[in-house]
């Protein structure tokens, strides 16, 4: 039976990973309102936008404006995404984004080529430059984010050995440049992972790097996100990305109408019901999910927002 | 890590448990068409209707007509629900329903009173009559179905000890009447279960009755059905109810708009991806889910029907 951790930390990615594929572009005010509701519900880390080419992702063009509207709150980290040095500069310039020196790699050769016009080898070859840029900005480099780590709509299954091999190469390269790989994010970008695969890969990583902090970014494309999260939690994984209401999807994965990221409130509810603390007020989180639905103007996949928390039944 | 079973058996309950709450009443022809599509996808056991009061559940009034339209297929069991001796007679009269001598009990005092106007004690007191009726019809009595076994919208949490106690009492009563309790169905009728609770309760039941065949009937009301299923499968549970497209809900549970039963195709997909056989053709099952959506006239919660199976990506 599961040996569950005491607490799980959920980073909210809806305002970035979720809203970027919505047909309706929200105003900076509405984005800030949604982020405020999330913070009010006890979410302590939020990806609030991205500093990327506004032509490629117009929904994120106003990230600076959104961040201006966010109050500094003790214990709350605002996060953002960047893909090039210009984006990193923009994030630094806000003075309010929590900076993290995380390198990024994609486990699918075809997917990385489509998205970034680079091969896996070229991406690895650019890592020293990234390390240099982070160091110059005073940012500690200690993380790797590995996209499409479980499978790819363009390439098919991604073997666990390839993932372990890419982590190994990155860890060596980082060591050569005076950094240590301590945080590994595995992203199931296109919803290929299953719970048994999740547990096998966690096992392989743990065997090789017993002290590596693992984080999962799960998508519910084929309905397995919650089972995958439980499979990981039951092996002691305590960090997850999730999107309010289940916002999201992958704009570059050739999928229309499919479900998005794992839903923040459903994941938080599962944790809390199992006695795993999240620091989140579930009823306030459901209200934030309802606000998200209202703002995007269509129903979201969230189950808890429709089924309701159990608090009102228990307090009878 | 999970020690997974070789195979899982899924009983489809959509045509009964699912369709009974739909606003649109399907014709017998359409129901038979949906059931035919499910059988064609490899589903080998299907609850095709119920023999209950047509005033209470008008959607099921034509169950005899539906059954007349179903071809006898070797290896395929058609199942039905009955709640009183008249219903049992109607099921027997079809000559095509697979008869099972399963007693039924509800773990929530308030819920059973609301639904059947009986207390738990009164329900237990009626069991000898049921055993007599099954015996008279030549049906072996060896099962118990326990509703609301994990929690109740009207009563709150249902402690595991109560479940174990009710199973114990039923097993004793059956033994006194010359039967043996061998099959236990635990139903999370209102979507209260969480994976840790599922694993605890399975553990308690296994400790007390090591050879009891366990089956789960899960609802996705709050998004935990798939995680609950994985939690059970990882402890060796191999029997599940599920509804195509995620049809369903509980008409008597005071819930509007909430998700229904665990979705057959999502569950089958999870099993197959983990190497656990179901005997199901996933692409044909997705087509059956799309037919179900078309027949009920609104989107269903299924994820796989939107995200798609992985076959087409793997065969590239």
Up-side HSE of residue B98: CA atoms within 13 Å toward CB?
A: 14
Res. B252 pLDDT band, cuts 50 70 90 = low
Per the CB < 8 A criterion, the answer to whether A135 and A92 are in contact is: no
Per-residue model confidence (pLDDT) at position B254 = 54
B68 sits in which H/E element: helix B63-68
Q: What is the DSSP letter of B189?
A: T
Range A141-145 average pLDDT: 98
Per mean pLDDT, which range of A199-208, B8-17, B88-97, B241-250 is the poorest? B241-250
Residue among B167, B270, B198 at smallest CA distance from A194: B270
The residue among B5 and B251 whose pLDDT is bigger is B5
- Closest-approach residue (CA) in chain B for A155: B313
Per-residue model confidence (pLDDT) at position B250 = 57
Interface of A with B in 92-151 (CB under 8 A): 151
For B91-158, give the DSSP string.
HHHHS-BPP-EEEEEES-HHHHHHHHS--HHHHHHHHHHHHHHHHHTT--EEEEEEET-SEETTTEE-
Distance, C-alpha A231 to centroid of its chain: 18
A55 sits in which H/E element: none
Per the CB < 8 A criterion, the answer to whether B20 and B52 are in contact is: no
Per the CB < 8 A criterion, the answer to whether B244 and B292 are in contact is: yes
For B247-290, give the DSSP string.
----TTTT-SS---BPBHHHHHHHHHHTT-B----HHHHHHHHH
User: What whole-number distance in Å separates Cα of residue A130 and Cα of residue A127?
Assistant: 5
Per-residue model confidence (pLDDT) at position A71 = 87
CB contact under 8 A, A273 and B227: no
User: What whole-number distance in Å separates Cα of residue B13 and Cα of residue B263?
Assistant: 10
CB contact under 8 A, A2 and B269: no
Range A9-29 average pLDDT: 94
Q: What is the DSSP letter of A99?
A: P
Per the CB < 8 A criterion, the answer to whether B262 and B240 are in contact is: yes
Per-residue model confidence (pLDDT) at position A315 = 75
Contacts of B191 (CB under 8 A, 6+ apart): A307, B218, B219, B220, B221, B222, B224, B225, B258, B259
Mind listing the pLDDT tens digit for each residue in B30-41? 999 999 999 999
Mind listing the pLDDT tens digit for each residue in A177-201? 999 999 999 999 999 999 999 999 9
Per-residue model confidence (pLDDT) at position A316 = 63
Identify which of B269, B274, B313 has the shortest CB distance to residue A223: B269
Res. A2 pLDDT band, cuts 50 70 90 = low
The residue among B21 and B289 whose pLDDT is bigger is B289
| B277-to-A76, A82, A199, B199, B274 alpha-carbon distances in Å | 45, 43, 19, 22, 9
Q: How far is A126 from chain B (nearest CA, A)?
A: 30
Q: What is the DSSP letter of B301?
A: -
What are the tokens at B49?
Answer: 């209707």
Mind listing the pLDDT tens digit for each residue in B142-183? 999 999 999 999 999 999 999 999 999 999 999 999 999 999
Contacts of A309 in chain B (CB under 8 A): 222
Helices (H), A156-300: 160-176, 195-208, 225-233, 264-273, 282-296
What are the tokens at A241?
Answer: 């990305």
Q: Hey, which residues does B79 pair with through a beta bridge?
A: B47
User: What whole-number distance in Å separates Cα of residue A79 and Cα of residue A83?
Assistant: 14
Per-residue model confidence (pLDDT) at position A254 = 54
| Mean pLDDT (chain A, rounded) | 94
Contacts of A268 (CB under 8 A, 6+ apart): A10, A242, A278, A280, A282, A285
Mind listing the pLDDT tens digit for each residue in B192-247? 999 999 999 999 999 999 999 999 999 999 999 999 999 999 999 999 999 999 99
Tokens 């009173």 found at: B113
| A285-to-A282, A298, A310 alpha-carbon distances in Å | 5, 18, 13
CB contact under 8 A, A156 and B316: yes
Q: What angle separates helix B28-40 from helix B282-296, to the nearest 10 degrees?
A: 170
Residue among A198, A195, A216, A194 at smallest CA distance from A160: A198
Per the CB < 8 A criterion, the answer to whether A180 and A244 are in contact is: no
Res. A258 pLDDT band, cuts 50 70 90 = confident
Q: Chains A and B: how many Cβ contacts under 8 Å? A: 153
Interface test with B, best of A193, A207, A216, A223 (most B CBs within 10 A): A223
B186 sits in which H/E element: strand B183-187
Interface test with A, best of B151, B203, B224 (most A CBs within 10 A): B224
Range A108-115 average pLDDT: 94
For A271-285, give the DSSP string.
HHHTT-B----HHHH
| A233-to-A222, B199, B200 alpha-carbon distances in Å | 20, 14, 16
Contacts of A257 in chain B (CB under 8 A): 306
Mind listing the pLDDT tens digit for each residue in B42-97? 999 999 999 999 998 999 999 999 999 998 899 999 999 999 999 999 999 999 99
- Closest-approach residue (CA) in chain A for B153: A313
Quick check: A273 pLDDT over 90? yes
Res. A3 pLDDT band, cuts 50 70 90 = confident
Res. A95 pLDDT band, cuts 50 70 90 = very high
């Amino acid at each position: 039976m599961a040996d569950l951790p005491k607490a799980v930390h959920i980073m909210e990615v809806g305002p970035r990973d979720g809203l970027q594929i919505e047909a309706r572009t929200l105003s900076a005010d509405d984005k800030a309102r949604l982020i405020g509701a999330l913070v009010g519900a006890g979410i302590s880390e939020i990806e609030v936008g991205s500093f990327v080419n506004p032509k490629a992702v117009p929904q994120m063009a106003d990230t600076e404006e959104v961040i201006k509207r966010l109050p500094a709150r003790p214990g709350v980290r605002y996060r953002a995404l960047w893909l090039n040095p210009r984006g990193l500069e923009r994030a630094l310039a806000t003075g309010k984004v929590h900076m993290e020196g995380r390198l990024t790699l994609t486990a699918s050769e075809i997917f990385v080529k489509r998205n970034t016009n680079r091969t896996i080898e070229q991406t690895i070859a650019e890592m020293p430059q990234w390390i240099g840029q982070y160091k110059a900005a005073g940012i500690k480099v200690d993380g790797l984010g590995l996209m499409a780590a479980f499978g790819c709509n363009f390439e098919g299954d991604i073997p666990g050995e390839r993932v372990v091999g890419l982590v190994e190469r990155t860890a060596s390269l980082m060591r050569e440049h005076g950094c240590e790989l301590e945080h590994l994010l595995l992203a199931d970008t296109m919803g290929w992972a299953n719970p048994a695969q999740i547990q096998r890969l966690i096992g392989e990583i743990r065997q090789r790097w017993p002290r590596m902090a693992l984080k999962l970014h799960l998508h519910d494309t084929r309905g397995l996100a919650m089972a995958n999260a439980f499979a990981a939690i039951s092996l002691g994984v305590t960090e997850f990305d999730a999107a309010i209401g289940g916002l999201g999807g992958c704009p570059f994965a050739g999928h229309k109408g499919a479900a998005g990221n794992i839903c923040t409130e459903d994941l938080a509810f599962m944790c809390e019901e199992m006695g795993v603390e999240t620091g989140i007020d579930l009823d306030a989180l459901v209200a934030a999910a309802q606000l998200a639905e209202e703002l995007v103007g269509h129903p979201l996949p969230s189950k808890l927002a429709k089924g309701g928390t159990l608090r009102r039944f228990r307090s009878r």
